[in-house]
Amino acid sequence: MSMTTATTDEVAEEPPAPAAPSDQRERDRMRRRLARRRGGGWWPYLFLAPWFVGLFGLTIYPMLDSLYLSFTDFDLLTPARWVGLDNYTRMFADDPVFWDSVHATLVYVLVSVPLKLALALGVAMLLNRDLKGIGLYRAAFYLPSLLGGAVAVAIVWRQVFGGDGLFNDFLAWFGIKGQDWISSPDSALYTLVLLAVWQFGTPMVIFLAGLKQLPKDVYEAAALDGARPVTRFFRITLPLLTPIVFFNVVLQIIDAFKTFTPAFVISNGSGGPLDSTMLYSLYLYKKGFTDLQMGYASALAWVLFLVIAGFTAVNFVASRYWVHYDD
Amino acid sequence: MSALTPNASPLARLRSLTGSRRILVHTLLVGVAVVMLYPLLWMLSSSLKPDTDIFTHPGLIPGRVRPENYSEGWSGSGNSFSLYIVNSLIVTIGAVIGNVVSCSLAAYAFARFEFRGKRIWFGLMLGTLMLPTQAVLIPQYTIFYNLTWINTYLPLIVPKFLAVDAFFIFLMVQFIRSVPRELDQAAMVDGANPWSIYWRIILPLMRPALITTTIFTFIWTYDDFLHQLVYLQQNDRFTVPLGLTLFLDQTSGSSYGAMFAMSTLALLPTLICFLVFQKRLVEGMATSGMKG
């Protein structure tokens, strides 16, 4: 109904289209008027309506609700009961498992992200040349990051690093006797780190696209000046690539904080052995949905949100000092 | 990539390697590829072996082939695996339609209109890209609980119709910006309103971005274990990832052959997508990293 009125409005305002748009100036004027029209009245809001509902209904309101719940005792079935800061004091002062999960998560993030990005950049550099079969290599390296989130892959991983798994067969070639890497609290987390590193394909593809855009003349000049490959890498490639390094660092850190599936599958949902694979998301899930302590889990969620926001903010601030923007 | 000319520039010489170095690079790359793909090949080969051979004969070619792993795994969790596949299809198809529709609408608005607060809204949209889903999981759960949507597929599908996957909005905005504005303007001169420009010009031209969105939404929704775990509790509603974990629980992870067989089957849809759309997936990911 309202749509038809709007259309008639526009038609009414619009001068009749010139029968013969031969006059260039007339056409230009028309174009300018149309450009002003890009404001489009309420059209953009109509197109954005679903997104607005999602933004407010499924993001902003839930964030606020979660903040409120974090100050309550809430088990979903009975109304939330205000407990002030109890959840937060309990978390920081009185919950050793919380600290176990913080520890596991920080190790996981700080080890897996640099390794993954270094491998991604290294392989992208290898691929950034005229080689036969580039497409094939790129595809092979990308495949794991497409599959990596699947439960099935985590199941396979559990067997690869089990006592009689593939990894120990490999070590046996070198005469090393392995152990059950999954059930040892010292190594279980590192099997998850390896699983993350195995998925270096996504940042690699992004690096590769970035490498292809680097200005060629700089390299030609450097090559003519006899700059060695190492020099070229540190003096030209890396500085020019910093915006993409930055992009990848931000995204991979956020991704690593969110990791849930492999920790759940490898530990059978327990986060064990000895909480060594209790990644933060897994702990949050257990508190919220296994123990139905949804107030406490909301507090955990807010802490996660603040930590990720903090990491991202630090990244953005630090980027002023190391990211090189051309324009 | 430009072809090498006979009198190549210094750069071209730099990039094209001499014989021995070329072999070195290929060896390195093949080595990495083998390490990367070996676990998957091992899974496939183990899915065809008798349980007793899996860990004692770790080679890739099965000595004895036991196809029963597949038939036993198929019904191994108490439900037929086909039930999980159908359920996963319901969720993924719903999510794909939701994302394609809602994200393209939002992207068109962001790419083609000027409106009050556009920069702020756009910034918020990019901000939600960085918001961890876990941060809103519990309040979203209470919303869907109050709507009595637990144990239905609605909590997994409806949010997609509300464009919550900002990544795809961003992808499509980038794409629409590359479509010449003259096309819109010409249509506007002919009296087309924004809706018909969206429907008749932008959407058809956006096909590549829509296909990329479809494939990624399919794969990511199919693999989205956390939300399925939270919202689906009755095992006749289970999807493929949940069916797999149920199978693990019921066999306590001890019928290895069948477990590998079902893992292989569970990865098959993603693998097929990958084989068919490999190039588009890689490029879709690559362009998302570029500044607009």
Helices (H), chain B: 10-15, 19-46, 51-54, 68-74, 81-112, 118-129, 134-146, 154-161, 166-177, 181-189, 194-197, 203-205, 207-222, 225-231, 240-251, 256-288
Domain spanning A95-322: CATH 1.10.3720.10: yes
Please say if the pLDDT value at position B290 is more than 80: no
Please say if the pLDDT value at position A2 is more than 90: no
Q: What is the ipTM for the molecules in this complex?
A: 0.88
Cβ of B289 within 8 Å of Cβ of A209? The answer is yes
B186 and B244, same structural domain?
A: yes
Location of structure tokens 């079935």: A77
Question: Looking at chain B, which residue has its C-alpha nearest residue A258?
Answer: B132
Count of C-beta atoms within a 10 Å radius of residue A327: 3
Please say if the pLDDT value at position A5 is more than 50: no
User: Is B71 within a domain?
Assistant: no
Could you give the CA distance from residue B96 to residue B215 in angstroms, rounded to a whole number? 8
Which chain A residues are Cβ-neighbours of B248 within 8 angstroms?
155, 265, 268
B123 and B28, same structural domain?
A: no
Domains: count for chain B: 2
Most confident listed range (A20-29, A188-197, B251-260): A188-197
- Report pLDDT for B189: 87
Interface test with A, best of B40, B121, B138, B270 (most A CBs within 10 A): B138
Q: Tell me which of A148 and B228 has the higher pLDDT.
A: B228
Please say if the pLDDT value at position B161 is more than 90: yes
- Mean local confidence (pLDDT), A165-177: 86
Residue A30: pLDDT band (50, 70, 90) is low
Write the pLDDT tens digit of every residue in B19-32: 788 888 899 999 99
- Mean local confidence (pLDDT), A92-121: 96
Please say if the pLDDT value at position B100 is more than 80: yes
- Mean local confidence (pLDDT), A228-237: 85
Interface test with B, best of A36, A48, A191 (most B CBs within 10 A): A48
Which chain A residues are Cβ-neighbours of B43 within 8 angstroms?
152, 156
- Report pLDDT for B17: 63
For position B234, which CATH number holds? Answer: 1.10.3720.10
Residue B159: pLDDT band (50, 70, 90) is very high
B168 and B41, same structural domain?
A: no
Q: Tell me which of B275 and B4 has the higher pLDDT.
A: B275
B200 and B123, same structural domain?
A: yes
- Report pLDDT for A129: 82
Could you give the CA distance from residue B67 to residue B59 in angstroms, rounded to a whole number? 17
- Mean local confidence (pLDDT), A103-111: 96
Residue A9: pLDDT band (50, 70, 90) is very low
Please say if the pLDDT value at position B67 is more than 50: yes
Measure in Å the smallest separation between the Cα of B89 and chain A Cα atoms: 16
Which chain A residues are Cβ-neighbours of B51 within 8 angstroms?
none
Residue A194: pLDDT band (50, 70, 90) is very high
Measure in Å the smallest separation between the Cα of A186 and chain B Cα atoms: 23
Could you give the CA distance from residue A222 to residue A230 in angstroms, rounded to a whole number? 12
- Mean local confidence (pLDDT), A227-238: 85
Count of C-beta atoms within a 10 Å radius of residue A250: 17
- Report pLDDT for B205: 92
B166 and B40, same structural domain?
A: no
User: Is B198 within a domain?
Assistant: yes
Structure tokens at A13: 């305002």
Could you give the CA distance from residue B285 to residue B289 in angstroms, rounded to a whole number? 7
B34 and B126, same structural domain?
A: no
Residues 6+ apart with CB under 8 A from B44: B260, B264
- Report pLDDT for A221: 83
Cβ of A152 within 8 Å of Cβ of B10? The answer is no
B92 and B42, same structural domain?
A: no
Which amino acid type is present at position B109?
A: A
In which domain, by residue range, is B172 found?
A: 81-288
Cβ of B58 within 8 Å of Cβ of A47? The answer is no
* Partner B contacted by A28 (CB < 8 A): no
- Report pLDDT for B192: 86
Domain ranges (residues) in chain A? 1-41, 95-322
Which chain A residues are Cβ-neighbours of B135 within 8 angstroms?
63, 66, 301-302, 304-305
User: Quick one: which H or E segment has residue B47?
Assistant: none
